[in-house]
Amino acid sequence: MVQNNNKKQKFVCVLIFFILALFLRIAFFHVIGINKKIDYFNQENLNQARRSLIDGGGLIRDELDYQEIAVSIANGDGFSRSGGKPTAFRAPGFPTFLAIIFIVFGYSIYVGVLANIMISALTVIPLFYLASKLFSIRIASIACLIYSFYPLSIFWSNGIYTEPLFVFLLITSFWLFVINVSEKIKGFYQILFFIFLSFASLIKPYILVFFVLYILCYLIKKRLNFWEITGIVMYIIIFSLWPIRNYYTLGKFSLGSNSGLNFWVGSAGKIKHGLTFISGGTYNYEKELLKDVDNPEDEFSVQNMFMHKAFETIKEHPFEYLKVVFFKILWMWKFWPLKSSILKFLVYSGGFLIIYVPAIIVFLNKRYRVGIFESKKIKSAFYFLLGLILVFTIVSAVYWPLGRFRYPIDIVILPFTAYGINVILDLFKLKFF
């Protein structure tokens, strides 16, 4: 009877926070609208949008690419640009998800944004069960309340961005990992963990680094069992479909063709044009460099050119590059380039104070740290979190973060944040849940 009541209580809490998160995201969507975005689903609009992008029209390049590829998939033209030209410039996970949404609900930018809003709201489910598995229903409720109101979470859900789906898959992977550590019957959850992690990797391929790090750390401690080996094989099979496709379609066994551009922007671009330089909404800097490419239509030739130019610049300016690396890590953890200082504080610095300070207090206070680390599942979750932070920090140092690499960490750390807030509430004898 007690167990049934506990399940009912969890279900009611999850439902309440899902409705709250959904309401806040739809309200934001209603307020800002999409008056600056174009419905890109016919060839003329696509051409017009690309001309506007090249001329500095301020359209969001990422969204344009995702929509264009998703429409191509939905139309049966495969993972390609408009006109049927195959591409590997974007990772396959999100455009494929978007294509499925378009096939089911029709071609509309509003459908794409609403799908992201729904995924963002649904993230409270794995987040709640993760936090309740680690700590308690009360702490899970605090975590979901913060997530529901968190400005960056609301912001990234209102557009054709990869972040909502990626964070949903990452949090679900984390939850399955904790279940795997704490439950006696592990086989099914181990396989699911690796499957969800592979889906997350198809959205952000650098998660492959975390996967390799996870396996290496695991092998140091103990041998892999049958279910773990099966899960690893499933991950490799699912993830390798993408480079295999690139090999047969484009002639390169590669994870993508945009790493050269990203590396150039995050290194040579910032060295030559200033620390705040980003590729932004124009191709002006890129167009100058493309003159040195024999075949600018070949994505991998362009990638190699950008990579070569980046290393060439780093070799000429090694100390400036170290300064850039430091700046990018600081950029990831400290601030975001918003024009309004008030918005900057509320969205980013304020987010740091709300999310990270309570968690840090817990880890610095020996009394609480020892208490929670007596649990194997919490200790394992902490090391999982440290691995993610390490990978995201390294990637942000190499590429150009713009805050997008910190946002997933903000959400993954929320159970520990909620625990810290709960400690603070207990100190002041405050009870809200």
Q: Could you give the C-alpha distances from 196 to 215, 269, 407, in angstroms and in order?
A: 16, 35, 19
pLDDT in tens, 226-282: 888 899 999 999 999 999 999 999 888 888 888 888 888 888 877 877 766 655 433
pLDDT, average across residues 61-86: 86
What type of residue is 138? R
List the domain boundaries for the chain. 13-39+108-203+206-255+330-427, 259-316
**Residue in the block written with tokens 């410039």:** 89
* 403 contact partners, CB below 8 Å, separation of at least 6: 152, 331, 332, 336, 348
Name the residue with higher pLDDT: 3 or 154: 154
The span from the CA of 82 to the CA of 107, in Å, is: 15
Cα atoms in the 13 Å half-sphere on the side-chain side of 27:
9
| Residue 52 Cα to chain centre, angstroms | 28
What type of residue is 278? I
Q: For residue 158, is pLDDT > 80?
A: yes
The span from the CA of 123 to the CA of 170, in Å, is: 10
The span from the CA of 116 to the CA of 163, in Å, is: 9
pLDDT in tens, 374-423: 677 888 888 888 888 888 888 888 876 556 778 888 899 899 888 888 88
pLDDT in tens, 101-154: 999 998 888 888 899 999 999 999 999 999 999 989 999 999 999 999 988 888
Say if CB 133 and CB 177 are below 8 A apart.
no
